Amino acid sequence: MTPTSTTAKTSQSKQNPKKTSYKIAVIAGDGTGPEVVKEGLKVLNQASKKHNFKLDFVYYDLGGERFKKTGEILPESVLAELKEADSIFLGAIGHPDVKPGILEKGLLLKLRFELDQYINLRPVKLYPNVETPLANKTPEDIDFIVVRENTEGLYAGAGGFLRRGTQHEVAIQESINTRMGVERCIRYAFELTRRRNRKKTLTLCGKTNVLIYADVKTDYAHVDATCMWMVKNPEWFDVIVTDNMFGDIITDLAAMIQGGMGIAAGGNLNPQGVSMFEPIGGSAPKYTGKNIINPLAAIGAAGMMLEEIGQREAAEAVEHAISQALASGKIKSLAAGKMGLSTTEVGDLVASLI
């Protein structure tokens, strides 16, 4: 099969160049979510002012607190409203008083599935002055992006029990990957590799190759080998495309080599619909309310959102401001409580550089 760009939909297709006003749904969520979201909004406001577009924020109090008070996780009416937004900005989901899995499944995964956000995009970039645990690796060596399939695989939740509750109980969980689901993800990854125009190399991690784009070099690595190379020779990677569970696992490793969860941003994309952007770390409850959590991942996610809604220059300005903020040396470490600056000061610094 030789696909052409006319058959492949890209994120451009839904972007209206004349549009200058956007409705952004904000789900600050649990733990440190609200603190990092506040800094993300600060930077978004600054970017929209400088680049002449308008962002209307609509706030949703979804998360652990609402669940504890009302038993609601994601009411149908709220879901319907979110489907009408231009984009969603999410802080973090996960509450110490709520059994693990309930909010993650009922809110985060439900949104990804209901909005058909079939791409989970996770850039891995070592910024200047950021410490990586990999010896002798520089920003030039660590600059790739993981395209994680986001609606299938083991996350499909297919499976069940036989003889549940007995001594002979069997539990089955199936990984479902459809032709449609795999193809749209790999197509997206090819087009992204083209747009990045860096090494023009797409590495398939852990599945069999199904598509060819003449100008993009393809490569294949097993998931275990991908982990090994990511530590030993991260400079080999440009774009990696992989399934949902492998993508979940390798992007935690990838986050560490770029300096940790404080800087790791991600987007859940529906290139034809509503996307959602989030820092990929959790709600870090132990740091809540202390003004010491690193907001850079949330700010980076906000920047990715600007790119997706069609405000590319503003997106580049945010990316540049993050890089400048780090290059300035004012941020001592990316770890919570060790930044040398507070959460709000880091937000102020980035906003001042827009």
Q: 3-class secondary structure for the chain?
A: CCCCCCCCCCHHHHCCCCCCEEEEEEEEECCCHHHHHHHHHHHHHHHHHHCCCEEEEEEECCCHHHHHHHCCCCCHHHHHHHCCCCEEEEEECCCCCCCCCHHHHHHHHHHHHHCCCCEEEEEEECCCCCCCCCCCCCCCCCEEEEEEECCCEEEEEEEEEECCCCCCCEEEEEEECCHHHHHHHHHHHHHHHHHHCCCCEEEEECCCCCCCCCCCEEEEECHHHHHHHHHHCHHHCCEEEECHHHHHHHHHHHHHHCCCCCCCEEEEECCCCCEEEEECCCCCHHHCCCCCCCCHHHHHHHHHHHHHHCCHHHHHHHHHHHHHHHHCCCCCCCCCCCCCCCHHHHHHHHHHCC
Contact region with ligand IPM (CB under 6 A), list: 15-23, 79-87, 102-110, 168-176: 102-110
Would you count residue 108 as binding ligand IPM (CB under 6 A)? yes
- Select from Mn ion, ligand IPM, none the partner in contact with residue 245, using the beta carbon and a kind-dependent cut-off of 5 to 8 Å: none
Smallest gap from Cβ 32 to Mn ion, in A, equals: 16
Closer residue to ligand IPM in complex, CB, 155/190:
155
Residues 240-299 that bind Mn ion (CB under 5 A): 248
- The site map against ligand IPM for 59-98 (x = CB under 6 A) is ----------------------------------------
Closer residue to ligand IPM in complex, CB, 221/280:
280
Residues 154, 93: Cα–Cα separation, whole Å: 20
Closer residue to Mn ion in complex, CB, 300/310:
300
Would you count residue 248 as binding ligand IPM (CB under 6 A)? yes
Residues 45, 95: Cα–Cα separation, whole Å: 28
Would you count residue 280 as binding ligand IPM (CB under 6 A)? yes
Smallest gap from Cβ 74 to Mn ion, in A, equals: 20
- Select from ligand IPM, Mn ion, none the partner in contact with residue 104, using the beta carbon and a kind-dependent cut-off of 5 to 8 Å: ligand IPM
Residue in 58, 79, 102, 109 binding ligand IPM, rule: CB under 6 A? 109
Smallest gap from Cβ 104 to ligand IPM, in A, equals: 4
- Select from Mn ion, ligand IPM, none the partner in contact with residue 108, using the beta carbon and a kind-dependent cut-off of 5 to 8 Å: ligand IPM
Closer residue to ligand IPM in complex, CB, 109/335:
109
Closer residue to ligand IPM in complex, CB, 280/301:
280
Closer residue to ligand IPM in complex, CB, 47/146:
146
The residue whose Cβ lies closest to ligand IPM is 104
Q: Which two tokens stand for residue 86?
A: 């231009």
- Please give the size of the binding site for ligand IPM, defined by CB under 6 A: 5
Interacting residues toward Mn ion by CB under 5 A: 248
Interacting residues toward ligand IPM by CB under 6 A: 104, 108-109, 248, 280
